[in-house]
Structure 1
Amino acid sequence: MSASLPTAPPDPAELARQVAAVVAANPAVARLDGGVFGAVATYLPGRRLVGVRIGQGDEPVEVAVVLYADHPFPEIVRGIRRDVATLCGGAAVDITVSDVVLRGDTGPGAVVEIGP
């Protein structure tokens, strides 16, 4: 029998990047969004990652998205919540649907950028 070493908690900035990538990869997500007043964000060195906030302690992970109108919203939100909770070790996940757009919309912010 071997003793397992305690694992260090994941780096919140790296976890936020991973969450953003998983959420942005969902075909029903048009883009990540900052939510009301742009409050859903993670501060990274030299930039802000908008749309994901990793809670501290018992706080939930917050995700804000703009969805395409051609998908059933409750099903998509459940799927995003499940994927993010799995990635974050079962943490509670709050999801805000900030807006809904039509597929092919070329308005402001229509492109999802995750970048380094």
Structure 2
Amino acid sequence: MAQVVACFLGDRFRATVPVAANSPYWFEDRGGFIDCVGDTAVWTMFGQADEHFGSQDPGLECRDFWLDERGCDGVDGAVGLDLGDAPDECVEYQGCSATTRFCLYGAQYGHQIPGDYFAAATMAFFRSF
């Protein structure tokens, strides 16, 4: 639901943090994607071994949707946020019309939130707006 809010109510919300969300099928329109309203900051998070989605990879689909929607410099235009177990587990993309972040967190969390940094990092993100 946080992704839907970010897109359709982007003129009412400053920031959202969708975690383990579905693929961006909400935003598809005749083979392309709709244009979202406003410029809500989006920090999307997915687990590397999210058993809920099986062989799908909605995390990368959602990341790519927001990179395109926010006009970011692309996947290579990422700066690490120094969160999690791997150096680039969480990144912020450059050149975007609104803050756009992505985390692909450790397999041990499955379909759950990354317990070691999620609460503090998310609240700091929201407070920055």
TM-score above 0.5? no
Structure possessing the higher radius of gyration over alpha carbons:
1
Q: Which has the higher strand share?
A: 1
